[in-house]
A and B are shown apart, each in its own frame.
Chain A
């Protein structure tokens, strides 16, 4: 057996989605936090902290879609058609948010509130439906004869709606800790005050999802609770608790960077937990990455381009973030 192209592509796509969740997560979070900050100057600052990067963050979403299409067409077609409505709603939210972002800077003071609302609404809708998509995905999508065999509204379950809510809370936490890192003064203090309840809410959401998932799906329970798996995977929940405690302490002593870094760790742990539950299935409970794979001719051909370009995208993203580090105040936003 030669190179396992499906495995490489799975890693690339998992990495891409992870990048997307982390990077778009905090800028969607800022939209979710907008209603909690009434002052227009503060809102300018919030937006300016993500202005140089948000559009680049969404490249990962497009890349994830195209990569999935190229490498795992079966998964692409089943997942996207099964989750048709929530995905379309999510895309509409993203369009609204993206354009509101640009036009808010160019609108008159009098009209700015319209774009503020579009920004809030778009961010909320995109996040909520992303969570719904995730929840419905974990719940499983019936597949028969290489096509989705469920109903149009199967995605609408208490669990998926709850995941939508959980993601709104999680991105809000990510956004608030991002702002703790990137702003100062009153705005930063406001975020530190909001941070504590958000951490508790996030922990509650993680706990509920972590219990609900294995209770509803015996195969996932089996994965976690059988021996020796239990010992291997035990660090994940333990680290979640440690991260949360560290996060609370860091917020209470008004730390700048730690809250954001610990929130990233928390999200990474949650993502790992999801990976442990599902691997190696690309359609949960049913289809694994090798069954969904495109022919090696396709995976190999697309891989050449991906391996050439991905390092470059990573480098320029990293550079962009590095040059742009530090605090943003009302004075530097020259939009």
Chain B
């Protein structure tokens, strides 16, 4: 199919399903913590604006959570369907870690999601706040297990290989593998930033349309404080993550930098632009800043960074992809930092809420966090190639023995179904955003909970907005 081999198609399929999936958990992680902050502020200050915002974002959180659950079902099976050799080889490590993630998620649904979504008028404020905190904590624990599982594939340790199968020896070493702390911090903060920019764009959209009230302003203000304070922190974490990668996966760094040759022994420049050509073993159209590559990665003006030619061709990741995915991520990160700084300047005299150029930028930056997350994951995963477990198992040996025909068929089906189903889901989220916060919503939160048609087993039922614009349709009120 289109001249692609089965291995490529299997990789594209996994990349497609997991890229679609990650969008929902990323926003879920960020919103859960944002909701905890909003509720805490409401309890502390008793200012209505926080409660209104809580109820507004709670619905969006619920829909997002539901979409995450549905798209997650596929992920529980993709390892076995597409990567059966990997599953057989390393299932003893990945399987238990993913099982813990699943159990954490269910524990959440069982214990606290119901109270959070439907318990506002039924339990005391302290208990409700506790439920929100536990949900926020739960999303982070889920992140913990997923990232532990993924990081082990990048920097495997704590296992032995006996009779051709991975046998776990030390679970603490497996979980707290060398790249795990950096990857976990980088991903959790990325989720917070992605959510902040999504929240900020929602506020900017309302302000641009003249819908200016305190709740909207508060949203924009909180989002921009996040951008100002956390985007630079993320850059620092990213730098540490990069140094960790340099230590454990030097070929990935060489590919990210599009750096081929160290035979001259000169310090490495930083390429701002270029087109790494895997066949010709060089980067074309280079635009470079001398010394900067060595300075950033080696903190030195003389020592070169690893070069792709240090590695045999069959061990090199695709530099063309990661060169650009990395630059996309970093570029978006710099834009985030700039947006945060501009917002600080505009806070004087409340221009933050009036400057149309700024509001347009904030609106455009809405998807920036999610795009950066995807670009970052492409960088790290494509950069791990040709290994599925770094240095231990090659991706080509991990794949199931399917023909290109059936992989092409299922890939086409996934694309169709996901765009149809999750496309509608995302439109629904945008519709909820467009409705905006409603004053005094906390007092109206309707019945729901265990034994009710609206329950935590169906988080999407917490949102009651119609799917389409239709006034006078009584379904809306029945919801």
User: Which residues in A have some Cβ–Cβ distance to B below 8 Å?
Assistant: 48, 51-56, 58-59, 61-63, 65-71, 73-74, 76-81, 84-85, 87-88, 91-92, 94-96, 98-99, 101-103, 105-111, 146-148, 152, 294-295, 297-298, 301-302, 305-306, 308-309, 312-313, 315-316, 319-320, 322-324, 332-335
Find chain B residues with CB under 8 A from A301 CB. Answer: 96, 168, 171
29 of the cross-chain contacts (CB-CB < 8 Å) are A52-B452, A55-B459, A63-B102, A69-B79, A69-B99, A70-B96, A73-B95, A78-B88, A80-B80, A81-B82, A81-B84, A84-B82, A84-B402, A85-B406, A91-B73, A92-B413, A98-B70, A101-B458, A107-B467, A148-B84, A152-B402, A302-B99, A302-B100, A305-B100, A309-B106, A309-B107, A334-B446, A334-B447, A334-B453
Question: B270 near A: Cβ within 8 Å?
Answer: no
| Contact in complex: A111, B73 (CB < 8 Å) | no
Bound-state CA distance A101–B49 (Å) is 33
Find chain A residues with CB under 8 A from B405 CB. Answer: 152
Tell me the nearest residue of chain B to A74, going by C-beta: B88
Top 6 A-B residue pairs of the complex, sorted by shortest distance between their CB atoms: A73-B91, A323-B451, A80-B80, A70-B95, A81-B84, A77-B84
| Contact in complex: B80, A77 (CB < 8 Å) | yes
Find chain A residues with CB under 8 A from B93 CB. Answer: 298
Q: A55-B458, A152-B402 are known; give 20 further A-B pairs, CB within 8 A.
A: A56-B109, A56-B457, A62-B72, A62-B73, A77-B84, A77-B88, A81-B402, A84-B402, A85-B410, A88-B81, A103-B428, A106-B428, A108-B466, A108-B467, A111-B467, A146-B164, A147-B84, A147-B85, A305-B99, A319-B450
Question: B69 near A: Cβ within 8 Å?
Answer: yes
Bound-state CA distance A73–B454 (Å) is 37
Residue in A51, A67, A94, A335 whose beta carbon sits within 8 Å of that of B73 in the complex: A94
Find chain B residues with CB under 8 A from A51 CB. Answer: 453, 455, 458, 461
Q: Of residues 119 to 168 in B, which have CB atoms within 8 Å of A's CB atoms?
A: 162, 164-165, 167-168
Find chain B residues with CB under 8 A from A76 CB. Answer: 79-80, 87-88, 91, 95
| Contact in complex: A70, B77 (CB < 8 Å) | no
Bound-state CA distance A110–B467 (Å) is 12
Find chain A residues with CB under 8 A from B211 CB. Answer: none
Residue in B95, B110, B421, B453 whose beta carbon sits within 8 Å of that of A99 in the complex: B421
B479 to chain A, nearest CB (A): 6
B195 to chain A, nearest CB (A): 22
Find chain B residues with CB under 8 A from A294 CB. Answer: 91-92, 95-96
- Main SS of chain B's interface residues? helix
Bound-state CA distance A301–B69 (Å) is 24
Find chain A residues with CB under 8 A from B101 CB. Answer: 66
| Contact in complex: B95, A69 (CB < 8 Å) | yes
Bound-state CA distance A69–B222 (Å) is 42
Q: Of residues 386 to 424 in B, which have CB atoms within 8 Å of A's CB atoms?
A: 400-403, 405-406, 409-410, 413-414, 417, 421-422, 424
Question: B169 near A: Cβ within 8 Å?
Answer: yes
Bound-state CA distance A39–B214 (Å) is 46
Given contacts A55-B69, A106-B466, contact A320 B403 (CB under 8 A): no
The count of chain B contact residues (Cβ–Cβ below 8 Å) is: 82
- Main SS of chain A's interface residues? helix
Given contacts A109-B475, A313-B106, contact A58 B73 (CB under 8 A): yes
Residue in B168, B417, B454, B467 whose beta carbon sits within 8 Å of that of A297 in the complex: B168
Bound-state CA distance A230–B129 (Å) is 60
Question: B233 near A: Cβ within 8 Å?
Answer: no
| Contact in complex: A88, B410 (CB < 8 Å) | yes
Bound-state CA distance A313–B457 (Å) is 11
Find chain A residues with CB under 8 A from B436 CB. Answer: none
Question: B74 near A: Cβ within 8 Å?
Answer: yes
| Contact in complex: B452, A70 (CB < 8 Å) | no
Tell me the nearest residue of chain B to A108, going by C-beta: B470
Find chain A residues with CB under 8 A from B82 CB. Answer: 81, 84
| Contact in complex: B77, A87 (CB < 8 Å) | yes
Chain B 46-79 interface mask (CB, 8 Å, partner A; 1/0): 0000000000000000000010011111101101
Residue in B76, B88, B109, B450 whose beta carbon sits within 8 Å of that of A73 in the complex: B88
| Contact in complex: B455, A91 (CB < 8 Å) | no
| Contact in complex: B91, A66 (CB < 8 Å) | no
A47 to chain B, nearest CB (A): 9
B118 to chain A, nearest CB (A): 11
B429 to chain A, nearest CB (A): 12
Bound-state CA distance A58–B473 (Å) is 32
Tell me the nearest residue of chain A to B66, going by C-beta: A102
B109 to chain A, nearest CB (A): 7
